[in-house]
Amino acid sequence: MSILLTGGAGYIGSHTCVELLNAGYDVVVVDNYVNSQPEALRRVETITGKKVTAYEADVCDKAAMDAIFAKEKIEAVIHFAGLKAVGESVAEPLMYYRNNLDSTLTLVETMVKYGCKRIVFSSSATVYGAPDFSPVPETARLGCSNPYGWTKYMIEQILRDWAAAQKDVSVVLLRYFNPVGAHPSGLIGENPNGRPNNLMPNVLNAASGKVKELKVFGGDYDTPDGTCVRDYIHVVDLAKGHVCALKYAAEHTGSEAINLGTGVGYSVLDIINSFERSTGVKVPYVITERRPGDVPSYYANPEKAAKLLNWHTEKTLDDMCRDSWAFKSKNPNGYEA
């Protein structure tokens, strides 16, 4: 029996492949490589010394998904596949709704056909919109501010409704906070296409001299140092959370939404300081205008993950910065030679 990882060649999927293989699971990946490269999976094999079965296909393609389920014995699915750029989702909302919703419906219909009843879904703290308070519990009010976020919100609802209708189904909705870092080997990491929007890839570009300086969006927020505060989580801790979620899904039915975060908020300046301290490399930066839509501060309440999944984060902010830099230094052009 195998675990199917949709979008398993991507940033979080590839790290989760490593943790699953290390935990003794067999892994099957389906990815159309719209935002990843097959090389990531070859490196997963190098790290673990184990084989990954990979299919190049669109999860929206019913016939392709049917063929994968017919060939492989899939005991559970982790559904990473999706488009994830907030700004692009505002410009191209239909593309986001089509890809993220259609892939989920096709996947779940195929699971139903083949009697596969367990799914772990990559949701996001974005479903909390602008949270009223932190730490944010799973019971907080939901509401999104962009089409990407709404796709996560809608998919959560689709999966919850499925679990409500079919009593032997198990759904775990993992709400990630801000994943950063890379595998300590420096072999796999985040490899964004085009100009990155997120903080850590921009820190790396400034540190490596690829851009002149990091733009810190806003220095006048009502936070301890005036810059925005987020809950950054090491991607290896996050990946391990998926192994725990799979175990939970094997023992429980119904649906649960669970935060994956550290429970600690760090500011943009904290990240810069940690990066410089842990790598010895300077991050040139300038404080600029606020970025429209940014929430000043929020971080997770991770108690439910501790209680239900017996999962805790282990890595520090310095680990996140050091490992991100190791991947960037070893792979200045990402997975391209």
Question: Annotated active-site positions, please?
Answer: 148
* Partner that binds at residue 179, options ligand NAD, ligand UFG, none, CB closer than 5 to 8 Å by kind: ligand NAD
CB 142 within 8 A of CB 108: no
CB 118 within 8 A of CB 246: yes
Q: Which of 216, 236, 243, 257 binds ligand UFG (CB under 6 A)?
A: 216
Q: Does 126 bind ligand UFG (CB under 6 A)?
A: yes
Nearer residue to ligand NAD within complex by CB, 66 or 226: 66
Measure the CA dihedral 263/267/273/276, to 10°: 80
Q: Could you tell me if residue 312 is left (phi over 0), alpha (psi between -120 and 50 degrees) or otherwise beta? A: beta
Binding positions for ligand NAD, rule: CB under 6 A: 7, 9-13, 31-36, 58-60, 80-84, 99, 103, 122, 124, 176, 179
* Partner that binds at residue 45, options ligand NAD, ligand UFG, none, CB closer than 5 to 8 Å by kind: none
Using the rule CB under 6 A, give the single segment among 45-53, 98-106, 124-132, 243-251 that binds ligand UFG: 124-132
Q: Does 178 bind ligand UFG (CB under 6 A)?
A: yes
CB of 145 to ligand UFG, least distance (A): 10
Nearer residue to ligand NAD within complex by CB, 287 or 295: 295
Q: Does 86 bind ligand UFG (CB under 6 A)?
A: yes
Number of Cβ within 10 Å of residue 70's Cβ equals 10
CB of 11 to ligand NAD, least distance (A): 4
Per-residue HEC secondary structure of 91-143 comes to HCHHHHHHHHHHHHHHHHHHHHHHCCCEEEEEEEHHHHCCCCCCCECCCCCCC
* Partner that binds at residue 199, options ligand NAD, ligand UFG, none, CB closer than 5 to 8 Å by kind: ligand UFG
Nearer residue to ligand NAD within complex by CB, 19 or 31: 31
CB 38 within 8 A of CB 262: no
Buried b or exposed e, range 180-194, using 16+ CB within 10 angstroms: bbbbeebbbbbbbee
From CA 324, how far away is CA 208, in angstroms rounded? 12
Q: What is the total residue count of the chain?
A: 337
Q: Which of 132, 294, 303, 314 binds ligand UFG (CB under 6 A)?
A: 294
Q: Does 225 bind ligand UFG (CB under 6 A)?
A: no
> Which residue's Cβ has the minimum distance to ligand NAD?
10
From CA 188, how far away is CA 328, in angstroms rounded? 10
Looking from the CA of 83 toward its CB, the CA atoms found within 13 Å total 26
Spatial neighbors of 287 by CB under 8 A, at least 6 apart, are 216, 218, 219, 227
Nearer residue to ligand NAD within complex by CB, 33 or 253: 33
Q: Does 230 bind ligand UFG (CB under 6 A)?
A: yes
> Which residue's Cβ has the minimum distance to ligand UFG?
228
* Partner that binds at residue 16, options ligand NAD, ligand UFG, none, CB closer than 5 to 8 Å by kind: none
Q: Does 52 bind ligand UFG (CB under 6 A)?
A: no
Using the rule CB under 6 A, give the single segment among 25-33, 50-58, 74-82, 213-221 that binds ligand UFG: 213-221
